[in-house]
Structure 1
Amino acid sequence: MGLLFAAMWSSAFTSARIIVASAPPLTALALRFLLSGLIAVVLARLMGQTWRLTPAQWRATILFGICQNALYLGLNFVAMQWVEASLAAIVASTMPLLVALAGWMFLKDRPKPLALFGLVAGLAGVALIMGIRLQGGVNLVGLGFCVIGVIALTVATMSLKGALSGGNYMMIVGLQMLVGSAVLWPAGLLLEQVVVQWSVSLVLAFIYTTLVPGLAATVIWVLLVNRIGAVRAATFHFLNPFLGVAFASLLLGEALQGSDYLGVLIIATGILAVQLSRVSEKEQIRPKFGSES
């Protein structure tokens, strides 16, 4: 389940790159979230869940829908008009490092030596890749959108802490997707011309990103967290830099340099170190439902 989740999460960048090459990114993403959200809400009702959430759950749902779906994914979809899927995946994969860094800086969550090593290694890996890419003329606007997006994803991830203990996880997933869709529709209609270059690859990529990263990965994440706990499940994030780059290279033919491989290896090592330091700590309360953190 951990391998499947990591593969699904990482493959989303490649399918997104295919979509934005032929369709307006914000409008396409708004439609994706509308469909995914409605399906998730129906599944939640079939599972006996309700939309009567606690105030903390509503706050987390709205904040997560805005920060992850509208800002993180919206900015990434727009950015991938100009930057490669592999670069977007590498930037996004640093989220566990940023969560640990933010916990240290703002929540006084002092990291253990292993976690501190992971933070330094991860940031060094990012610096190595970005230094070479900047010399090669990467689009700065697209890169900036990716960076702002992963910061928004970090805020979204931290906002879910403790907010899902009341259950109704699938309902929360569906509602936060609908929140993201509601925010993205006005932006897409105001800023974009709805011109679509229809193709089989576009349709397949849209169906895939709606059903697999959007829904299936969420279900697998819930099962995984229920089986081994949120902290241990999060260790699988260390595979995301590898898999994100691999999918982009194999399916899109994106060229990679030696510095990319080395940087990805260093980032993955840093993420693994940070997550393993958490596993070594005593887990306070193993939640029945977890968050992607």
Structure 2
Amino acid sequence: MTMERHRRAWLAAMPLLFVVLWSTGFIGAKFGLPYAEPFTFLTVRFVLTLLLLVPLVMLLGGDWPRGPVLWGHAAVSGLLVHGAYLGGVFYGIELGMPAGLASLLVGLQPLLTAALSGPLLGERLAPRQWLGLLVGLVGVALVLGGKLDPGATLFQGFGVTALGAVVVALVGISLGTLYQKRFCAGMPLLGGTVAQYLGAGAVLGLGALMFETRTIDWTPTFLLTLGWLVLVLSISAILLLMTLIERGEASRVASLFYLVPPATALEAWWLFDERLPAISLAGMAIAIAGVVMTVRGRRASP
């Protein structure tokens, strides 16, 4: 009976554990970027991840994408979901955007995905979804408004380039989600992830060659951060997600993703003393409510 209780407690904690681990990705960017440029940092991360993930797929007897066409689609989706998303987030944080705010903005992905699913996939939005989109936009306006600095050009501590980089991340993961839904049906999780990391890593590596010095300060802090992002985020979190999907917990994970922005904001406050004014915190709650309304409306819509 004790073993069974422990097993049930572990299964109940797995979705929340996944979200907590996922939220630390933004914190990892904040820790590691003082020692490496963003595209260089991510290229090294993807190379190390592939060196571990490929043998893991073979050890677990996992499947690979079938045929060059599916490999190509998986690579394109990886370019969007991992390359544009992580590249934009890391570049925005490098330019001074708070990790909690970056997490909130890219956490609006369900809103943008729902808005784009109509023209791109022919899906209709329910009235509740449109209301959720409006509520989410109001929340974002409050968050950004709370960071306005009348004495600065745009935002306190970061400028329009940082905001644009995170918007690229938001658009990338939204389009990548729709692309994967449209063209990557039947893609195996682990083998498909290898193809995605190959596509993202190739483009980010090219970006590092073209725009960065590729200098890395191999400090203990950077090595620990890199190890965390590779082993915990890129490997363990994916295996945890695979287990949750196999046990039918995917919808629960999707719901708990709403907790990622406040979790990241709390972690950033504790570790880096990043503070958001009251109006921004209220805007964060309103934006999350808009995401919840949009996603739930999507499930209910015909």
* TM-score, structure 2 as length reference: 0.85
Higher alpha-carbon deviation: 262-271 or 66-75: 66-75
Secondary structure in structure 2 of the residue aligned to 1:33: helix
Q: Which amino acid aligns with 2:178?
A: M
- Matches of 1:190 and 1:277 in 2, distance apart? 43
1:87 to 73, 79, 101: 101
Correspondence 1:250 to 2:275: no
Correspondence 1:128 to 2:137: no
Distance 1:93 1:12, change over 3 A: same
1:71 to 84, 88, 92: 84
Deviation at 1:104, TM superposition (A): 3.1
Correspondence 1:22 to 2:42: no
Deviation at 1:164, TM superposition (A): 5.0
Please, what is the CA RMSD of the aligned residues?
A: 2.1
Q: Contact between 2:109 and 2:170, CA under 8 Å: does it hold in 1?
A: yes
Deviation at 1:134, TM superposition (A): 3.6
Deviation at 1:55, TM superposition (A): 5.3
Residue of structure 2 equivalent to 1:222: 242
Secondary structure in structure 2 of the residue aligned to 1:196: coil
Q: Contact between 1:38 and 1:178, CA under 8 Å: does it hold in 2?
A: no
Q: Which amino acid aligns with 1:106?
A: L
Q: Which amino acid aligns with 2:77?
A: F
Residue of structure 1 equivalent to 2:8: none
Higher alpha-carbon deviation: 144-153 or 247-256: 247-256
- Show the 5 A alignment for 1:69-218: 69-82=82-95, 83-135=97-149, 136-137=155-156, 138-161=158-181, 163=183, 165-218=185-238
Deviation at 1:255, TM superposition (A): 1.6
Q: Contact between 1:79 and 1:142, CA under 8 Å: does it hold in 2?
A: yes
- Matches of 1:164 and 1:223 in 2, distance apart? 20
- Matches of 1:89 and 1:111 in 2, distance apart? 25
1:44 to 34, 40, 57: 57
Q: Contact between 1:39 and 1:174, CA under 8 Å: does it hold in 2?
A: no
Deviation at 1:35, TM superposition (A): 1.2
- Matches of 1:165 and 1:8 in 2, distance apart? 27
- In percent, how many aligned pairs have the same letter? 29
Unmatched runs of 5 consecutive residues or more in structure 2? 1-13, 150-154
Q: Contact between 1:95 and 1:153, CA under 8 Å: does it hold in 2?
A: yes
Structure 1 outlier segments of 4+, above 6 Å: none
Correspondence 1:53 to 2:66: yes
Deviation at 1:280, TM superposition (A): 3.8
- Matches of 2:69 and 2:245 in 1, distance apart? 21
Distance 1:56 1:232, change over 3 A: farther
Q: Which amino acid aligns with 2:276?
A: L
Q: Contact between 1:41 and 1:175, CA under 8 Å: does it hold in 2?
A: no
Residue of structure 2 equivalent to 1:276: 296
2:282 to 250, 258, 262: 262
Deviation at 1:196, TM superposition (A): 2.8
- Matches of 1:226 and 1:56 in 2, distance apart? 26
Deviation at 1:95, TM superposition (A): 0.7
Higher alpha-carbon deviation: 226-235 or 113-122: 226-235
Q: Which amino acid aligns with 1:110?
A: R
Higher alpha-carbon deviation: 270-279 or 176-185: 270-279
* TM-score, structure 1 as length reference: 0.88
Q: Contact between 1:54 and 1:166, CA under 8 Å: does it hold in 2?
A: no
Deviation at 1:232, TM superposition (A): 4.8
Q: Which amino acid aligns with 1:5?
A: F
Aligned length: 282
Q: Which amino acid aligns with 1:240?
A: V
Residue of structure 2 equivalent to 1:289: none
- Matches of 2:268 and 2:66 in 1, distance apart? 39
Q: Which amino acid aligns with 1:205?
A: T
Q: Which amino acid aligns with 2:120?
A: F
